Structure 1
Amino acid sequence: MKIAVAKGDGIGPEIMEAVLKIFEANKVPLEYEVVDMGKWVFDKGFSNGMTPEAQQTIESLGMLFKGPMETPKGKGVKSVNVTARKTWNTFANKRVFQTLHGVDTVFSKAGIPIDITVVRENIEDTYGGIEHMLTHDVALSRRFITRPGSMQVIRYAFEMAKQKKAKRISCGHKANIMKLTDGLFLDCFYEVAKEYPELKADDIIVDDLCMKLVTRPDTFDVVVLTNLQGDIVSDLCAGLVGGLGFAPSANVGDHISIFEAVHGTAPDIAGKNIANPTALLLSGISMLQHLGLTENAAIIENALLYTLESGVHTGDFGDKSKASVNTTEFANAIIGNFGKQPAHNPKPVFPNQPGTPTPFKLKENAMMESKEVGNENIVGVDMFIESNEQPLAIATKCQRHAGVKFKLVNISNRGTQVWPTGSVYTNLVNVYNVRFESLDGEPLNQQDILGLYVSLSGNFKIASSELLNMWGDKKAYSVAAGQ
């Protein structure tokens, strides 16, 4: 099999060289095609951080193994890491956090074993990067949570938990506050859970999850979360097992997958041959498992675990009374330990069963759409207007524009109701959400909404608007605090 390799920026090339040297010594049956990605590609004018040739190669091979990459600051470009994950729909970000003997942590010293797999949704949420300044004072970020995207990553998490023989799978969320977005993700979780009765499925509010992870991490097994929450929680879990230097990452899609170290480029030590390659090696081992190269993966992982148990360490971790080794020496030590079994958590060695990275080529974009439940009706609109007037003055003007089809039902500011009731102690900013609903509960059409928009724009700058939809008798919009 041939895979694409992007060496990365900073310490990327030297840790990638160390990992590929270990693979070569173990006779891993892979060929490598190096592709151009990273900061220097940005600097040459490629706004997505990769050359067209690199994109074509990765899409034809279906597998990318990449080192850490830097996104130029202040140039208005997106992270190449996020762009790659989203472009190729690697919807599930799997990160495995395990106690590594030889890497001392608070929990290892206390004898508390950790084996947590975080599955993070990788495409949606605020990572869509869709943001607007509504006024000079007010910024808006759009948060997309979709049913098809949620089902995709949650189903992957359950299937992976089943194969892992996990005892528990938990959904981390904030559905108590974000009732529609996180609520949709949580609904999908329990919908999929019905198909896996052998797994204990539960949910936990994400702030409570963070507290429990740092007090009783051994009670968790597999945790699935939305994108932003998953990003934060996975870095928290990295801290439980020694830091990002021991955190592998797999970005799994239906057709293309990316395996990478999630730590930074560490430019302060780049080129010094002292960086720790463990995270990238663990990511590479995960890639070998994904490709069916289970024998190579187990031999290399056992050698790594044995090496760590033996006290061999780079300068960023380990027993400071023992001299550290450089990147090359660390890789050589692992190679020298092929065939040895660690005392703790040895991995069983199964014969390779290699598969194919890309099952088939696509000719068009896949449309993911679930079946609509209930009739859809427009019952109103939220108009986000710019104004520094008081709520009563705004309400008086808005009521003049309601006409014969609309009634003004609510005005809120930063999500808190300020009309028809409210408090003078609520501080305001210069964007109000003015909610109009159908006068007699009759369905509206988009022409009705546009007519109201035109009329209202005679008094206000309308910064944004959102339809109020209903499916059957279910409201598809939130209410303001205090409403």
Structure 2
Amino acid sequence: MKIAVAKGDGIGPEIMSAVLKIFDANKVPLEYEMVDMGKWVFDKGFSNGMTPEAQQTIERLGILFKGPMETPKGKGVKSVNVTARKTWNTYANKRVFQTLHGVDTVFSKAGIPIDITVVRENIEDTYGGIEHMLTHDVALSRRFITRPGSMQVIRYAFAMARQKNARRITCGHKANIMKITDGLFLECFYEVAKEYPELKADDIIVDDLCMKLVTRPDTFDVVVLTNLQGDIVSDLCAGLVGGLGFAPSANIGDHICIFEAVHGTAPDIAGKNIANPTALLLSGFAMLRHLGLTENAAIIENALLYTLEQGVHTGDFGDKNKPSLNTTEFADAIISNFGKMPQLNAKELLANKPGTPTPLKLEKNTMLESKEIENEKIIGVDMFIESNEQPDVIAKKCQRHAGVKFNLVNISNRGTQVWPTGSVYTNLVNQYNVRFESIDTYPLNQQDVIGLYVSLSGDFKICSLELLNMWGEKKSYSSAAGQ
């Protein structure tokens, strides 16, 4: 099988060479096509951090194995890591965090074993990077959570949990505050949970999750979260097992998958041959198992675990009374331990059942859309306006524009109601949300909203607007604090 390999920036080429050396020594049946990605590709003028030839190769082969990559700062370009995941719809980011003998942490010293799998939604949320300055004082970031996108990652998480014989799957969320976005994600979680009655499915607010992870991490098994929350919790879990140097990452899609080290490029030690290749090697195990090369993965992982148990280490971890090895020496130590079994967490030697990573050739973009069960109707609009006037002054102006189809029902500032009731102790910024609803909730059309927009624009700069929709009798918009 052929896979695409991008060595990465900084320490990337060194740790990738070490991992591929280990694979070759174990006669892993893979061929590698090197592709051009990373900071130096940005510097050549490719705004997505990869050459067109690299993109074509990855789409042809279906598997990308990549080292850490740097995104140039201050040049207005997106992270190549995020771009790659989103371009190829690798919707599930899977990271496995396990106690490694020889990597001392407060939990390993206390005899508390950790085996947590975090599944993070990989495409949506604030990682869309859709931001605007509404006024010179007010910035807006749009957060997209979709039903199809949530169902993709949650179905993957449940299927993976069943496969690994998990005892528990937990949804981390902030639906107590973001009732519509996180509420939709949580709703999808329990919808899928009905299909897996043998799994204990529960949910937890994400701040409570973080507190419990650092006090009793052994009580968690599989955790699934939205993108930003999953990003934060993933790094928290990495800290529980020794840091990002021991954190593998698999980005799973229907057609293309990416396996990578998620730690930084460490330019301060680049070229010194002292970097720790463990995280990339652990990501390589996930790739080998994904490709059906389970025996190769088990032999190499057992050798790694045995090596760690012997106290062998690079300079970033381990017993400082024992001399550390450089990157090449660490790889050689693992190779020399092929066939040896660790005392803890030995992996079963299952025969290879190689599949093919080659994706289907797609002719058009896939449209993800669920069935609309109830009819949609527009019952109002939120107009986001720029003004430094007081709420009652704004209200009098807005009421003049309401006409015969709209009622002015609420004015809020930074999410807090300031009209018709409010407090003079509420600090204001120069951007308000003015909410109009239909008289007697009579359904409106977009032409009605445009007419209000045109009229209102005579008094205010309108920064943006959002329709107030209902499906059946369910309101699909939030209320202001204090409303």
TM-score of the aligned structures, taking structure 2 as reference length: 1.00
Once the two structures are superposed, the pairs formed by residues 153-302 of structure 1 within 5 Å of their partners are 153-302=153-302
Aligned to 1:460: 460
**Equivalent position amino acid for 1:207 in 2:** D
Following superposition, the deviation at residue 478 of structure 1 comes to 0.3
The letter for the 1-side match of 2:252 is V
Mapped partners of 2:415, 2:360: distance in 1: 47
Q: Which amino acid aligns with 1:270?
A: A
The 3-state SS of whatever aligns with 1:5 is strand
Instruction: Provide the residue aligned with 1:64 in structure 2.
Output: 64
TM-score, normalization: structure 1? 1.00
Aligned to 2:140: 140
Letter of the structure 2 residue corresponding to residue 479 of structure 1:
S
Partner residue, 1:431: 431
In structure 2, what residue type is equivalent to 1:75? K
Q: Partners of 1:63 and 1:441 in 2: how far apart?
A: 52
Match of 2:108 in 1: 108
SS at match of 2:441: coil
What secondary structure, in the 3-state scheme, does the structure 2 residue paired with 1:368 have? coil
Rounded to whole Å, the distance in 1 between the matches of 2:313 and 2:163 is 32
Q: Which amino acid aligns with 2:352?
A: N
Q: Which residue of 2 is the match for residue 450 of structure 1?
A: 450
2:338 paired with 1:333: no
Q: Output one character per residue of 1:304-344: Cα deviation in whole Å (capped at 9) or x when no partner.
A: 00000000000000000000000000000000000000000
Residue equivalent to 1:440: 440
Q: Distance in 2 between matches of 1:345 and 1:285?
A: 15
**Other structure's SS at 1:364 match:** coil
State the AA in 2 paired with 1:462: I
Structure 2 letter corresponding to 1:378:
I
SS at match of 1:369: coil
- Deviations along 1:208-260, one digit per CA (max 9) or x if unpaired, are 00000000000000000000000000000000000000000000000000000
Distance 1:465 1:358 in 2: 44
Partner in structure 2 of residue 34 of structure 1: 34
- Is 2:343 aligned against 1:343? yes
Q: Which amino acid is the alignment partner of residue 380 of structure 1?
A: G
Deviation at 1:51, TM superposition (A): 0.2
Runs of 4+ aligned structure 1 residues displaced above 2 Å come to none
Secondary structure of 1:94 counterpart: strand
Deviations 1:186-214 (A, max 9, x none): 00000000000000000000000000000
Letter in 1 for 2:110: A
CA offsets 1:439-479 (integer angstroms, 9 cap, x no match):
12110000000000000000000000000000000001000
Within 1, Cα distance between the matches of 2:197 and 2:297?
31
Quote the residue 1:474 is aligned against.
474
Separation in 2, partners of 1:437, 1:359 = 49
Q: What's the counterpart of residue 408 of structure 2? A: 408
- Report deviation, 1:358: 2.7
Deviation track 1:330-381 (CA, whole Å, cap 9, x = no partner) reads 0000000000000001000000000111342111000000010211000000
2:373, 2:330 → 1: CA distance? 57
Give structure 1 stretches of 5+ with no counterpart.
Answer: none
C-alpha distance in 2, partners of 1:481/1:39? 44
Measured in 2, the distance between the counterparts of 1:49 and 1:438 equals 48
Helix, strand or coil at the partner of 1:29: coil
Is the Cα contact below 8 Å between 2:97 and 2:116 reproduced in 1?
A: yes
- Whole-angstrom CA distance in 2 between matches of 1:174 and 1:234: 16
RMSD: 0.4
Q: Is the 8 A contact 2:256 2:359 kept in 1?
A: no
Deviates further, 3-12 or 360-369: 360-369
Contact preservation (8 Å) 2:60, 2:359: no
Q: Any idea what SS the aligned residue of 2:319 has?
A: coil
SS in 2 for 1:33: strand
- Rounded Cα–Cα distance in structure 2 between residues aligned with 1:317 and 1:19: 19
The separation in 2 between residues aligned to 1:302 and 1:2, in whole angstroms, is 25
CA contact (8 A) 2:61 2:359 kept: no
For the residues of structure 2 that align with 1:384 and 1:254, how far apart are their CA atoms? 39
Task: Quote the offset at 1:61 in angstroms.
Answer: 0.2
State the alpha-carbon separation in 1 of the partners of residues 333 and 281 from structure 2: 13
Residues 76-132 of structure 1 deviation map (CA, whole Å, 9 limit, x = unaligned): 000000000000000000000000000000000000000000000000000000000
Supply the AA of the counterpart residue of 2:171.
C
Tell me the secondary structure at the aligned position of residue 440 of structure 1.
helix
Contact kept in structure 1, 2:382 and 2:467, CA below 8 Å: yes
2:131/2:141 contact within 8 Å kept: yes
For 1:384, the equivalent position in structure 2 comes to 384
Q: In structure 1, what residue type is equivalent to 2:27?
A: K
Whole-Å separation in 2 of the counterparts to 1:79 and 1:88: 14
Question: Does the Cα contact within 8 Å between 2:6 and 2:66 map onto a contact in 1?
Answer: yes
2:354 aligns to what SS in structure 1? coil
Q: Which residue of 2 aligns with 1:365?
A: 365
> Aligned-pair distance for 1:185?
0.1
